[in-house]
Chain A
Amino acid sequence: MNNLIDIMEMSTEEIQELIDKALDIIDNPQKYSDVCRGKILATLFFEPSTRTRLSFESAMYGLGGNVIGFSDSKSSSTSKGESVSDTVRTVGCYADIIAMRHPKEGAPLVASRSAGVPVINAGDGGHNHPTQTLTDLLTIYREKGTLENLTVGFCGDLKFGRTVHSLISAMSRYKGIRFILISPEELQVPRYIITDILEKNNIPYEEVTSLEDSMPKLDILYMTRVQRERFFNEADYMRLKDTYILTPDKLRNAKESLSILHPLPRVNEISVAVDKDPRAIYFKQVANGKYIRMALIMKLLEVNA
């Protein structure tokens, strides 16, 4: 069964195939507008989401398919105590492919074992979010024309930010990548990312606290939100939420060719004034999310234009 649970299950060649397919979809949307006719995508969102769920739905409609699902666990049988396995086993009878978001880490893996149809992890707690990573990779590729020889800065909540963990893992397989990890000490990337990925593969990295000092070195700046829902303690969240706020002033020393990404939603970590800067590409990134998900759905359903 084809599933996407963790981005590291995909080789760089497979990722490039998806990027190439997404680029062709962008250039020739008509060619793909009917390839999933008669197919149904189920979006099972046990946790709130705007972008990811709508981009999956938009992607499926863009391919001529249909969508069923729910966007809140309260409106599913989970609220009656049904297990993930039983829920997806049932949904697998109604749909050809499932995109699932769940607050518990590992839930999509559990789902993939019993669904009987392909399962896409649309985010599991603070763990993985592979389609966001694919979106990020497509965005970087479209801006830079390559995924190699880049200095990539991550800023904000690097501890609970699943998009950060997945993108570091995915980019660590490309040549000439350097990481600058900018965060308060309490929100540094988990040690296993450092030991198992960066140090194991001899990838140059710096862990720093100053965004301004790192700015001139960056080709990519990946901003993140400090996520209230990942904290057990409200006081810790309040203390850390405004640590980094990107303003036009802080971009003065940045390269002209810098690309600023953010998985969104933002709260206040990027000032709205930055949106006008051509280097701010987070809304282009949102659009890319739809195209790469179209490519992914096609791959998992094994359909071609």
Chain B
Amino acid sequence: MIIGQIKDGIVLDHITAGRGMEIYKILGLEKLDCSVAMIKNAESPKMGKKDIIKVGQVIDLDFDILGYIDPGITVNIIHNGELSKREHLTLPERVRDIIKCKNPRCITSTEQELVQEFRLTDPEKKIYRCIYCEHEAPKAEE
């Protein structure tokens, strides 16, 4: 399969195979006018299979959301056909309004206008806890 090179844009590489569509939706890429390519199950020496998203324009990305959902993603920024910047994502310290607290005793269960905020308490086990009630967040892979 041939997908043309990007002149100016973004390539999200090393997406865990099968998560490409989820990331496409979360980033709202369907709203863009430029060309967007979603490659599923591309061969990868490191990962076996991976997904890739190519966006034909430089857009603002929420690295926290991306890092939380799939911290292995590499973000490549392309200018004039050349790689101008490469970002390796990490787990963000805090995530806001991505996940909801499931604790029925949490204040967010009754005051729904509150920002749903979680902080990383155990990077090794990728555990996030609600900043209000400290209830553990469901894991992104779940």
Interface residues of A (CB under 8 A from B): 83-85, 102-107, 109-110, 124-127, 192, 196
* B136 touching A106, Cβ below 8 Å: no
B 74-110 to A, binary, CB cutoff 8 A, 1 in contact else 0: 0000000000000000000000000000010111111
Query: What's the minimum C-beta distance from A117 to chain B, rounded to whole angstroms?
Result: 19
Q: Is B114 an interface residue (CB 8 A)?
A: yes
User: 8 more A-B contacts (CB under 8 A) besides A104-B106, A106-B130?
Assistant: A84-B107, A103-B105, A104-B107, A104-B110, A105-B134, A106-B106, A110-B114, A192-B136
| Residues of A contacting B113 in the complex (Cβ-Cβ under 8 angstroms) | 83
| Chain B contact patch, size range | 20 to 34
B121 within 8 A of A: yes
In the bound complex, residues from chain A placing their C-beta under 8 Å from that of B114 are 110
Cβ–Cβ contact B132 & A83, under 8 A: no
Contact at A83–B111, with CB atoms within 8 Å?
yes
Do the beta carbons of A102 and B136 come within 8 Å of each other?
no
Is the pair B107, A105 in contact by a Cβ cutoff of 8 Å? Answer: yes
Interface SS majority for chain B: loop
**Chain A residue with the shortest CB-CB distance to B129:** A192
Tell me the smallest distance from the CB of B136 to a CB of chain A, in Å.
7
| Among B108, B133, B136, contact of A127 (Cβ-Cβ < 8 Å) | B133
Q: Are A106 and B121 in contact (CB under 8 A)?
A: no
Q: Which residues of B contact A83 (CB under 8 A)?
A: 111, 113
CB pair A106–B122 under 8 Å, yes or no, is no
Q: Please determine whether B121 and A84 come into contact, CB atoms closer than 8 angstroms.
A: no
Q: Which of B109, B122, B131, B135 contacts A109 (CB 8 A)?
A: B131
- Smallest CB gap from A6: residue in B: B134
Shortest Cβ distance from residue B56 to the other chain A in the assembled complex, whole angstroms:
41
Complex-state Cα separation, A105 to B113, whole angstroms? 16
- Minimal beta-carbon separation of A2 from chain B (angstroms): 19
List of A residues within 8 angstroms of B135 by Cβ: 105
- Chain B contacts for A109, CB-based, 8 A: 107, 131-132
Shortest Cβ distance from B114 into A: residue: A110
Contacts of B131 in A (CB 8 A): 106, 109
